[in-house]
Amino acid sequence: LGISNLLCGAEDFYETSTNMAVLNNVDHAELRYNPQFGSAFGDCANRMPLLPTEFAEAQRDHPILFAEQPDAGLIAVALLGLESGENLHFDGRNWGDAYIPALHRRGPFALQVQKDASGAAQDLLIDVDLNDARLGNDEGFPLFKPHGGNSEMLDLISSTLLTIFEGSEITAPFTDMLNELGLLVPAAIDVDLGDGRSIEIRDHMIIDAAAFQSLTASQLKQLNDAGFLVPTVHAMASVANIQRLIDRKTRGAAGA
């Protein structure tokens, strides 16, 4: 799933600074990871890709919308702000207690999937961008224990990458079924900031509650049998967070 086109001024960093290597406890025995936030790492993006495997956590904080991406097709996104380069959960230093999407939370790490002759996943390796400013031998959390085992930080990174892998596998079937059942409708978000300015957000879709309520028993069973009923409900419920995002925006505008 593509992410660079959703970032805020960090495109060059992500697209030109990569020096990927397979992470291992011999070459990278002393390597440390220092999680940091900032515009250089894309934290001011106003939306980020989401995977169905993280909807349960994301829906507590973020509206879950759907949008077409040139490099990924129809995907889910967390709406974080109402204007370009605006993440209303990010104060310039951290995200507070808001959920951070897995594709962003992974930092400079990525999963390399090795497949067998049949095309099935056979082995999963972790790649790391050694040019990333958050990596080094002096500061941060070690990735390996002194005798070579995975550290707690690396276990956390591995868990995030597994969420991404599993979610990426089901994203297309999930969105295909939403379309097939007629559950996606255009989202029209209009915000009056009260100072003569207004904001419109288009080119997104949401799961329509009325359409969901009209599903037949067999259609609900179809969703459930595919494992998509729960993420559908979570995405539908998350739409209420749009108003919370608007309130956060207008409070900030009033105090400006």
pLDDT in tens, the chain (256 residues): 444 444 454 443 344 457 899 999 999 999 999 999 998 899 999 999 999 999 999 999 999 999 998 877 899 999 999 888 899 999 888 898 999 999 999 999 999 888 777 777 668 899 999 999 999 999 999 999 998 899 999 999 999 999 999 999 999 999 999 999 999 999 888 888 777 778 888 889 999 999 999 999 999 999 999 999 999 999 999 999 999 998 888 886 544 4
Q: How far apart are CA 8 and CA 62, in angstroms?
A: 18
pLDDT at 1: 41
Beta bridge partners of 78: 48, 64
Residue 205 and residue 65 in contact, taking contact as beta carbons nearer than 8 Å: yes
Q: What angle is formed at CA 137 by the lines to CA 134 and CA 138, rounded to 5 degrees?
A: 85
pLDDT at 2: 40
Residue 68: its H or E element: strand 64-69
The bridge status of strand 135-136 relative to strand 141-142 is unpaired
Q: How far apart are CA 255 and CA 78, in angstroms?
A: 25
pLDDT at 190: 84
Instruction: Write phi, then psi, for 113 (nearest 5 degrees).
Output: -100, 115
Q: How far apart are CA 151 and CA 92, in angstroms?
A: 28
pLDDT at 200: 84
- Total count of residues recorded for the chain: 256
